[in-house]
Amino acid sequence: MTAEHAPDDPQQGVSGDVGLPRKIGWGAFALFLVAFAAFESFKYGLPTTGAALLFFALPDLARFAGARSPGVLYQAVNRVWIPLAVIVGYTFGPIVWPPLFTAGLGWLARIAVQRTFGRGRV
């Protein structure tokens, strides 16, 4: 007797058919974010480029600092909501400092790249 899972069963995991469109979507989003970060970097100069690159490398820097998979720091640097909140907060908030915006773009781009290649949360 084989165990069959319902199509929306959370224990089943992501199959190849469902995972490919999701990876394509993350890849397209990553390309958009990288292009947007490059545009902002060319527009505002070196500080924005540095912020985007630094926060693009943030998950690696956290890992080198000792953050491992079940830890709080590892989870924090790999969540979509945190850099998304930075971007939205900057867009609608009173702060006008472009490196903050490109830092959020770089961080979110890194998460999107990781999810495109199957690493991180999907």
pLDDT band at 54 (very low <50, low <70, confident <90, very high): very high
Render pLDDT for 11-24 as a digit per residue (tens, 0 to 9). Answer: 444 455 668 999 99
Number of residues written out for the chain: 122
16 versus 35: the higher-pLDDT residue is: 35
Q: Which of 118, 114, 116 is nearest to 62 (CA)?
A: 114
Q: Which residues are CB-contacts of 43 (< 8 A; sequence separation ≥ 6)?
A: 98
Model pTM above 0.85: no
Render pLDDT for 59-118 as a digit per residue (tens, 0 to 9). Answer: 888 888 887 777 888 888 889 999 999 999 999 999 999 999 999 999 999 999 999 998
Q: Which of 103, 81, 118, 117 is nearest to 36 (CA)?
A: 103
Give the separation between CA 62 and CA 70, rounded to whole angstroms.
13
pLDDT of 121 reads 56
Structure tokens at 2: 């084989």
User: What is the separation of C-alpha 106 from the centre of its chain, rounded to a whole number of angstroms?
Assistant: 8
Single-letter amino acid, residue 27: G
Structure tokens at 94: 């009173």
pLDDT of 61 reads 87
Are the beta carbons of 102 and 78 closer than 8 angstroms? no
Least confident of 4-8, 24-28, 71-75: 4-8
pLDDT of 68 reads 77
pLDDT of 111 reads 95
Structure tokens at 73: 């720091």
Are the beta carbons of 104 and 86 closer than 8 angstroms? yes
First to last CA, the chain: 31
